[in-house]
């Protein structure tokens, strides 16, 4: 019998998905790497009471959220159920109404749980999420003097993934960062279904295979062409936007990123998180700094323009970027190995709050239904220098540098540097020391707008 895993259509490939099935659907951010043809086919097929496992639900008629809008989902295991600043989604409305149960999982833990499920590993201990709401009710253990949380393996009935090309054996080939979640999602599934741009006549070069066919049950050529839009910044939050304090303009987001870039030492491996940190990539050109992104790229540089971007190369914020010499691509499991294994030197993240104990809160606020953990809990869990970039106060004038975080924690005692639109603070023992001040402002003004205890250093003399 000759192996042939090719199905005639996406509809045929998902025809046997029953009510109550668990389905992992790969995809990154709001629009990238989603198996759109398979998702649309599953919507048309109509299976109900589904448990969807995903990093992000995406947006529009072609991604995971469309199944929720169609009333087919009653449970979610995701890294993002909501995003700050985005319009309320169907998922949020149904979660709030009690129609959908949701479990939020850090991104690195999610892929590791799926990988473990496919590898016959029942559970594992991780430093990720220690001391946060995510670890509540779970077993913890001190290993080598460090507290760890027990996470169980995750198996699903079906996985919907995408790749660039396949052969009849089910071998898959990816381009750029397109492999991100695909291997882990496929391995954790009883039946993995791959949607591809091309099914070749013959076989793939063994050297180019990103996922061996043993992990893939079905392949199908895509049938849905998704309109592609170049991402634009949200209104009022462009790189040159700036807040005003005491009638004076603070640093723009672009200036904050440039300041942060100047604090990174040469020879560093640096991860840039969502929001303002992504702009740092525009200010390291020519320096010996290598940028890492959890979606699977090491060695990228400046943000690309509409005229010169590659749709298969984007950063953690979903922005298209240029590659640097020596760049490499890999899956998300490998990416988080680099972080938790101590290979990444600096992590730059946005935040809602940082408190006097160097605790970080950046994934949920009281106005959000659930939240967006993403990879942040994994990124701050290892031996890494954590730099936070954020405005000094929120849009309502509330200080973000507080005595004690009121919002759910991302990590405990993990923040080393804070760059705001008014100053730079560096952790020194039990306090943050004022290291520099934005032009036109004084140390007294900084202190007035800061709740946590400050060491004014040379500015207090």
Q: Which structure tokens are listed for 405? A: 């975080």
d(CA 129, CA 410): 7
Which run of H or of E encompasses 104? strand 101-104
User: What is d(CA 305, CA 289) in angstroms, rounded to the nearest whole number?
Assistant: 22
Would strands 50-54 and 22-25 be described as parallel, antiparallel, or unpaired? parallel
Q: Are 170 and 135 in contact (CB under 8 A)?
A: no
Question: Token pair of 265, please?
Answer: 């030492």
What residue has token string 């409305």?
A: 93
Region of 30 (left: φ > 0; alpha: ψ -120 to 50; beta: rest) is alpha
DSSP 335-354: HHHHHHTT---EEEE--SEE
Sequence-distant (6+) residues with CB within 8 A of 265 are none
Asked if 87 and 97 touch (Cβ cutoff 8 Å), the reply is no
Residue bearing tokens 């969502």: 274
DSSP 282: G
Write the burial class of residue 235 (CB in 10 Å: 0-12 exposed, 13-18 middle, 19+ buried): exposed
Q: Which of 151, 173, 294, 353 is catalytic?
A: 294
Angle at alpha carbon of residue 428, lines to 379 and 460, rounded to 5°: 130
In the annotation, is 294 catalytic? yes
Indicate which residues carry an active-site annotation.
294
């Amino acid at each position: 019998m000759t192996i042939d895993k090719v199905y005639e259509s996406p509809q045929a490939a998902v025809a046997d998905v029953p009510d109550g099935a668990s389905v992992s659907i790969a995809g990154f951010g709001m629009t990238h790497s989603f198996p759109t043809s398979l998702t649309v086919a599953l919507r048309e097929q109509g299976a109900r009471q589904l448990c969807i496992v995903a990093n992000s639900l995406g947006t529009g008629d072609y991604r995971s959220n469309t199944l929720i809008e169609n009333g087919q989902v009653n449970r979610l295991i995701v890294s993002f159920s909501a995003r700050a600043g985005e319009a309320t989604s169907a998922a949020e409305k149904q979660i709030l109404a009690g129609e959908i149960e949701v479990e939020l999982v850090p991104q690195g833990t999610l892929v590791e749980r799926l990988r473990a499920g496919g590898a016959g590993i029942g559970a594992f201990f991780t430093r990720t999420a220690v001391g946060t709401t995510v670890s509540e009710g779970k077993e913890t253990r001190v290993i080598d003097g460090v507290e760890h949380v027990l996470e169980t393996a995750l198996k699903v009935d079906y996985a919907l993934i995408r790749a660039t090309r396949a052969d009849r054996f089910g071998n898959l080939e990816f381009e750029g960062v397109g492999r991100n979640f695909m291997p882990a999602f496929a391995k954790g599934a009883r039946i993995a279904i791959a949607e591809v741009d091309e099914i070749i006549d013959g076989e793939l070069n063994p050297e180019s295979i990103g996922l061996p066919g043993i992990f893939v049950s079905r392949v199908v050529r895509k049938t849905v062409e998704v309109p592609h839009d170049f991402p634009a910044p949200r209104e009022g939050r462009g790189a040159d936007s700036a807040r005003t304090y005491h009638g004076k303009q603070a640093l723009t987001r672009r200036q904050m990123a440039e300041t942060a870039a100047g604090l990174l030492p040469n020879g560093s491996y640096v991860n840039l998180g969502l929001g303002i940190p992504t702009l740092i990539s525009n200010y390291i050109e020519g320096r010996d700094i290598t940028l890492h992104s959890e979606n699977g790229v090491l060695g990228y540089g400046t943000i690309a323009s509409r005229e010169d971007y590659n749709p298969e190369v984007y950063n953690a914020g979903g922005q298209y970027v240029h590659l640097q010499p020596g760049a490499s691509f890999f899956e998300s499991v490998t990416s988080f190995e680099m972080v938790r294994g101590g290979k990444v030197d600096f992590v730059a993240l946005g935040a809602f709050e940082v408190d006097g104990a160097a605790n970080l809160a950046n994934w949920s606020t009281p106005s959000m239904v659930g939240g967006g953990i993403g990879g942040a809990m994994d990124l701050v869990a290892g031996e890494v220098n954590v730099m936070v970039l954020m405005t000094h106060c929120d849009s309502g004038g509330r200080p973000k540098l507080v005595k004690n975080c009121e919002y759910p924690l991302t990590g405990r005692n993990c923040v080393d540097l804070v760059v705001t639109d008014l100053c730079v603070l560096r952790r020194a023992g039990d306090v943050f020391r004022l290291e520099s001040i934005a032009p036109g402002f004084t140390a007294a003004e900084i202190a007035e707008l800061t709740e946590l205890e400050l060491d004014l250093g040379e500015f207090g003399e």
